Structure 1
Amino acid sequence: MLEVKNMSKRFGGIRAVDDCSFTVRKGEITALIGPNGAGKTTAFNCISRTMAPTSGEVWLDGERIDGLRPHQITRRGLSRTFQISRNLADMTVLENVICQSRTEGWRDMFRPALSEAEIAKAMGILDFLGITRIAQEDGSNLSYGQKKLMDLAALLMSDPKIILLDEPAGGVNPTLLEEIVGHIRELNAKGLTVLIVEHNMELIMRLSDRVVVMAQGTVIAEGTPEEVRADPAVLDAYLGGVLEAEE
């Protein structure tokens, strides 16, 4: 579904992503993990083209996309969330979900603010996520977890075939986290491919089909959660301390 080939991103003399290559298989949940500063979010930004890679290629379902604009990539079936919710001020949850899902660039300026079809679709997604009760709530008044669900709703409005989730568990209480995990599993069961960046190792190990590990901007390991957990390079670079703390 997704293939990253020799991708790099430099900021002056700093290589945030350095000759990074990995694949995401269709229909699977793949986790991208690594210590702080490993380059995970920068990789996400380059894949979704919110940031231009310095070099390398990104392929989606057999089509090269690293030269496209973000809304063009979204139209081709790849959508992503961000670590921090990007809700628009003074707008309701329903308005945020619809406005953030527009993918026609400047043409969207000439469309109705909220069409009946968009409202019906958005309300259906909010119902799936169990948050129709906050549809008319100001987006800025939501809890951190509710904002995560609003972002997920906006992402689903574009009918993606692959979603990139950047730390969906960050700052979320345990009860709501299990709801989010349940939604991810249900979406995946319906055929949606998932790539997820997350620091919650317990969550990653029970949710993912495959794990890609980054350190210092490059991929150091790929495999099943069990294979990655036992990989000496991964233990040395990142997981060792986490696993020791769990035992």
Structure 2
Amino acid sequence: MLEVKNLCKYFGGIRAVDDCSFKVDQGTITALIGPNGAGKTTAFNCISRTVQPTSGEVWLDGKRIDQLRPNKITMMGLSRTFQISRNLSEMTVLENMIVQAKVDGFRGLFRPAISPEEKDKAMEILDFLGITRIAYEDGSNLSYGQKKLMDFGALLMSDPKIILLDEPAGGVNMSLLEEIMTHIRRLNERGLTVLIVEHNMDLVMRLSHKVVVMAQGTVICEGTPDVVRNDPAVLEAYLGMPEDAA
């Protein structure tokens, strides 16, 4: 579904992502992990083209996307969230959802601002997430957890094939964490492919089919959660342990 080939992103002399390569198989939940500063979010930004890679290639479903604009990538089936909510605070939850729906080219200019079909779709997603009660709340009135759920729902409006979740569990309580995990599992069971950046190792190990580990901008290990958990290079990257002591 997604293939990253020799991806690099340099900021002056800083190599945030350096010759990074990995694959995300269709229908899987893949976690991208690593210590702070490993380059995970920068890799996400390069994949979704919110920043331009220095070099390398990104392929989605057999088509190269690293030279496309972000809206074109979304139309091809890749959607993402951000660590910090980007909701429009003066718009309602329902309106925030609908602005992220697919635009039907030039013909979209002649449609109502909110079509009945879009409203029904947004309400269906809000119902799936259990937050229909806040559909008409302004974005500025939402709690942190509600913003996380709204962002999660909004990316589903574009009918993605694969979703990239950047720290969906960051800052949420345990109850909401379990709720988010349940939503991700249910979507994956419906065939949606998931790539997730997350620091919560319990969530990663319980949720993922495959784990890709980055350190210093490149991939140092990938495999099942059990393989990664016991890899000496991963232990060294996270704990600073010498490999012969692991």
Same fold by TM (over 0.5)? yes
- Pair 104,54 (structure 1): closer, same or farther in 2 beyond 3 Å: farther
> Is the Cα–Cα contact under 8 Å of residues 102 and 108 in structure 1 kept in the other structure?
no
Gaps of 5+ in 2: 242-246
**Shift in Å, 1:144:** 1.1
Q: Decide which moves more: 179-188 or 107-116.
A: 107-116
The runs of at least 4 consecutive aligned structure 1 residues that moved more than 4 Å come to 102-111
AA partner of residue 139 (structure 1) = G
Q: Structure 2 CA distance, aligned partners of 1:149 and 1:113?
A: 23
- Pair 109,82 (structure 1): closer, same or farther in 2 beyond 3 Å: farther
**Shift in Å, 1:6:** 0.2
**Count of aligned pairs between the two proteins:** 241
Q: Does 1:87 align with 2:91?
A: no
Q: Does 1:114 align with 2:98?
A: no
**Shift in Å, 1:104:** 5.9
AA partner of residue 100 (structure 2) = Q
Residue number in structure 2 paired with 1:238:
238
SS state of the match for residue 36, structure 1?
coil
> Is the Cα–Cα contact under 8 Å of residues 71 and 103 in structure 1 kept in the other structure?
no
Q: Deviations over 1:103-130 (max 9, x none)?
A: 5688766643211111111001000110
SS state of the match for residue 146, structure 2?
helix
Correspondence 1:178-189 to 2 at 5 A: 178-189=178-189
SS state of the match for residue 184, structure 2?
helix
> Is the Cα–Cα contact under 8 Å of residues 97 and 122 in structure 2 kept in the other structure?
yes
- Pair 164,105 (structure 1): closer, same or farther in 2 beyond 3 Å: farther
Q: Decide which moves more: 180-189 or 93-102.
A: 93-102
Residue number in structure 2 paired with 1:33:
33
TM-score by length of 2: 0.94
> Is the Cα–Cα contact under 8 Å of residues 212 and 223 in structure 1 kept in the other structure?
yes
Identity of aligned residues (%): 78
Q: Structure 1 CA distance, aligned partners of 2:118 and 2:100?
A: 12
> Is the Cα–Cα contact under 8 Å of residues 77 and 161 in structure 1 kept in the other structure?
yes
Correspondence 1:215-226 to 2 at 5 A: 215-226=215-226
**Shift in Å, 1:38:** 0.5
> Is the Cα–Cα contact under 8 Å of residues 71 and 104 in structure 1 kept in the other structure?
no
Q: Structure 1 CA distance, aligned partners of 2:98 and 2:69?
A: 20
Correspondence 1:154-193 to 2 at 5 A: 154-193=154-193
**Shift in Å, 1:91:** 0.4
AA partner of residue 213 (structure 1) = V
- Pair 139,106 (structure 1): closer, same or farther in 2 beyond 3 Å: farther
Q: Does 1:96 align with 2:96?
A: yes
- Pair 65,147 (structure 1): closer, same or farther in 2 beyond 3 Å: same
SS state of the match for residue 158, structure 2?
coil
Residue number in structure 1 paired with 2:201:
201
AA partner of residue 128 (structure 1) = F
Q: Structure 2 CA distance, aligned partners of 1:87 and 1:106?
A: 25
**Shift in Å, 1:100:** 2.7
> Is the Cα–Cα contact under 8 Å of residues 98 and 118 in structure 2 kept in the other structure?
yes
> Is the Cα–Cα contact under 8 Å of residues 101 and 118 in structure 2 kept in the other structure?
no
**Shift in Å, 1:102:** 4.2
Q: Structure 2 CA distance, aligned partners of 1:203 and 1:162?
A: 19
Q: Does 1:51 align with 2:13?
A: no
Q: Decide which moves more: 231-240 or 42-51.
A: 231-240
Q: Structure 1 CA distance, aligned partners of 2:5 and 2:107?
A: 32
> Is the Cα–Cα contact under 8 Å of residues 163 and 194 in structure 1 kept in the other structure?
yes
> Is the Cα–Cα contact under 8 Å of residues 29 and 195 in structure 1 kept in the other structure?
yes
- Pair 130,200 (structure 1): closer, same or farther in 2 beyond 3 Å: same
Q: Structure 1 CA distance, aligned partners of 2:44 and 2:232?
A: 26
Gaps of 5+ in 1: 242-247
- Pair 105,20 (structure 1): closer, same or farther in 2 beyond 3 Å: farther
Q: Deviations over 1:52-111 (max 9, x none)?
A: 101000000100011111111011111000000100021000000111334568876664
